[in-house]
Amino acid sequence: MTHKNRRLILGLALAMAGFHGIAGTVAAETESTKQFFIGGGCTNQSLFGTYLFEYIARPAGSQPIDATVGFRYFNGRGAGQMMFATAAGEIQTEHFSYTLNPDCTGAIDYAAGTTSEQIFVHPRGEHFTWIDTRPGFAATGQDWRSSRQAPGHCSNATLKGTYNLSGRGNAGSPQEPIFYSEAGMDAFDGNGQVWARYRVSNGEEGLVAGTYRVDADCTGQVTFAPNETYRIFVGPTGADLVSVGLGNDFETLGSGNKISSRMLVGPNPDDGWFNGHPGDLRVDSDR
pLDDT digits (tens, 9 = 90+) for 49-103: 999 999 988 766 556 667 899 999 999 999 999 999 988 888 999 999 999 999 9
Query: Which pLDDT band, with edges at 50, 70 and 90, does 173 fall under?
Result: low
Query: Which pLDDT band, with edges at 50, 70 and 90, does 280 fall under?
Result: very low
Q: Averaged over 22-31, what is the pLDDT?
A: 49
Domain boundaries, the chain: 44-147, 156-280
Give pLDDT, residue 60.
62
- If you average pLDDT over each of 10-14, 175-179, 218-222, which comes out highest? 218-222
Q: Averaged over 216-227, what is the pLDDT?
A: 92
What is the residue-wise DSSP string for the chain? --HHHHHHHHHHHHHHHHHHHHHHHHHHHHHHHHHHHHTT---GGGSEEEEEEEEEEB-STTPPPEEEEEEEEEESSSEEEEEEEETT---EEEEEEEEE-TTSEEEEEETTSS-EEEEEE-TTSSEEEEEE-STT-B-EEEEEEEESSPS-S--GGGSEEEEEEEEEEE-S-SSS--EEEEEEEEEEESSSEEEEEEEETTS-EEEEEEEEEE-TTSEEEEEEETTEEEEEEE-TTSSEEEEEEESSSSEEEEEEEEEESS--SSSS-GGG--SS-GGG----TT-
Give pLDDT, residue 178.
77
- If you average pLDDT over each of 133-147, 149-163, 197-211, which comes out highest? 149-163
Query: Which pLDDT band, with edges at 50, 70 and 90, does 275 fall under?
Result: very low
Report the predicted TM-score, pTM, of the whole model to 2 decimal places: 0.79
Query: Which pLDDT band, with edges at 50, 70 and 90, does 7 fall under?
Result: very low
Give pLDDT, residue 248.
58
**Superfamily of domain covering 156-280:** Quinohemoprotein amine dehydrogenase alpha subunit, domain 2 (2.40.128.120)
115, pLDDT greater than 50 = yes
193, pLDDT greater than 60 = yes
Q: How confident is the model over 231-240, as pLDDT tens digits?
A: 999 999 999 9
Query: Which pLDDT band, with edges at 50, 70 and 90, does 168 fall under?
Result: confident
264, pLDDT greater than 60 = yes
Give pLDDT, residue 217.
97
Residue with the larger pLDDT of the pair 50 and 266 = 50
44-147: CATH architecture: Beta Barrel (2.40)
Residue with the larger pLDDT of the pair 93 and 6 = 93
Q: Which of 43-47, 130-134, 262-266, 271-275 has the lowest mean pLDDT?
A: 271-275
